Amino acid sequence: MPELPEVEIVKRALETAALGAGISDVRLNRPDLRFPIPPDLPDILRGQVISSFLRRGKYVLCFVESGAGFVLHLGMSGVVKIIPAGEAYVPRKHDHVVFMMADGGMIVFNDPRRFGFLDLVGVEDWATYKSFAAMGPEPLSNDFNGPVLAAALAGRKAPIKAALLDQKVVAGVGNIYACEALYMAGISPQRAARDVQGADAEGLAVAVREVLALAIESGGSSLKDYYHADGSLGYFQHHFSVYDRAGEVCRGHGARGGCGKVIERIVQSGRSTFCCSSCQR
């Protein structure tokens, strides 16, 4: 369930560990992920030096000095493990792609559920790649604010929760942070998206930014099988206000105290939504 914050943490860890590093080889142990990995990916990256990393929505991009590069999506169970030079590599089940670095280190992509994928994309044309062509604004950039969000929601009859999950509305928000942001903003997940306008849209935009920024600050978060891209084991059990807290007490957020009622779980378009029907209207 890596969403924007987790992907940002992975990107930062990769930057620290591998920016300027040489790729000596790429092993495709299992190329049939969500989409097949291009068979010529190892040939294109072999011998190249990594010149930049980028995050867009829930995707990490990596470019090399030739101008080639690749995009990585972690799906819902994808993990990047960085193994420093000199440290032993203990292969794990689902280590689908292994980057052999020139200094002897390794970068491993492990993804049990194989919802993730890697694809080739160049530094000059990544923005027109199919995943990004219609992608909405980066929530933590200046391109995202109340009026921008309001415009994206205008005319949409679908519930606001569903709209937030639409990557064309805003990039990088998944099920967890959609629930959290709506709670923080005090907006019911069941309201029609088109009715979230003006001050409501402003408040929701602020909440989206805040919930994502807080999660990045605390090192990314996820419920299960996520471990830090720097190789350290363990996952970051974030302190969620509503997500996965069905039946527990509403304890509020920040200045807004909890109402003492019980957090509910409802299902919207086949996905769990967690909310407080008293605090969210």
Partner DNA sequence: CTCCTGTCCTGCCGGC
Partner DNA sequence: TGCCGGCAGGACAGGA
| Residues with catalytic function | 2-3, 58, 271
Name the one range near DNA by CB under 7 A: 19-27, 64-72, 107-115, 201-209: 107-115
**193 scored as a contact of DNA (CB under 7 A):** yes
Q: 227 is written with which tokens?
A: 């471990």
Residue choice 3, 15, 95, 200 for contact with DNA (CB under 7 A):
3
Query: Dihedral angle at the C-alpha atoms of 128, 122, 40, 85, nearest 10 degrees?
Result: -130
- Which C-beta is closer to DNA: that of 76 or that of 212? 76
Among residues 89 and 115, whose Cβ is nearest to DNA? 115
Q: How far apart are CA 119 and CA 132, in angstroms?
A: 13
What number of other Cβ atoms are within 10 A of residue 257's Cβ?
11
Q: Which residue in 191, 209, 251, 271 binds DNA (CB under 7 A)? A: 271
Residue 55 in the binding site for DNA (CB under 7 A) = no
CA distance 208 to 185: 9
Query: Which candidate, 225, 259, 263, 212, places its Cα nearest to that of 241?
Result: 263
Phi-psi region of 122 (alpha: psi -120 to 50; beta: other; left: phi over 0): beta
CA distances from 68 to 124, 215, 240 (A): 9, 31, 39
**Within its chain, how far is the Cα of 165 from the centroid?**
12
**Binds DNA by CB under 7 A, chosen from 48, 110, 167, 241:** 167
Binding span for DNA by CB under 7 A among 15-23, 40-48, 98-106, 160-168? 160-168
| Residue 126 CB, nearest approach to DNA (Å) | 14
Q: Which is nearer to DNA, 27 or 113 (CB)?
A: 113
Query: Is residue 249 within 8 Å of residue 258, measured between CB atoms?
Result: yes
Confirm or reject binding of residue 105 to DNA (CB under 7 A).
no
Give the nearest distance from C-beta 163 to DNA in angstroms: 6
Asked if 174 touches DNA (CB under 7 A), the answer is yes
Give the count of residues interacting with DNA (CB under 7 A): 38
Which residue of 5, 75, 137, 189 would you call a contact of DNA, by CB under 7 A? 75
238 to 267, contacts with DNA by CB under 7 A?
A: none
Q: List, edge to edge, every strand of the sheet that includes 59-64.
A: 50-56, 59-64, 69-73, 117-120
Select from 100-108, 136-144, 150-158, 227-235 the region that touches DNA (CB under 7 A): 150-158
Of 19-27, 168-176, 201-209, 247-255, the window that binds DNA (rule: CB under 7 A) is 168-176
Question: Between residues 135 and 279, which has the closer beta carbon with respect to DNA?
Answer: 135
- Give the bridge partners for 36, in sequence order: 32
Which pair of structure tokens corresponds to residue 109?
């992509």
Beta-strand relationship, 79-83 and 106-110: antiparallel
Which residues of the chain form contacts with DNA (CB under 7 A)? 1, 3, 34, 57-59, 73, 75-77, 93-94, 112-115, 130-131, 155-159, 162-163, 165, 167, 174-176, 193-194, 224-225, 269-272
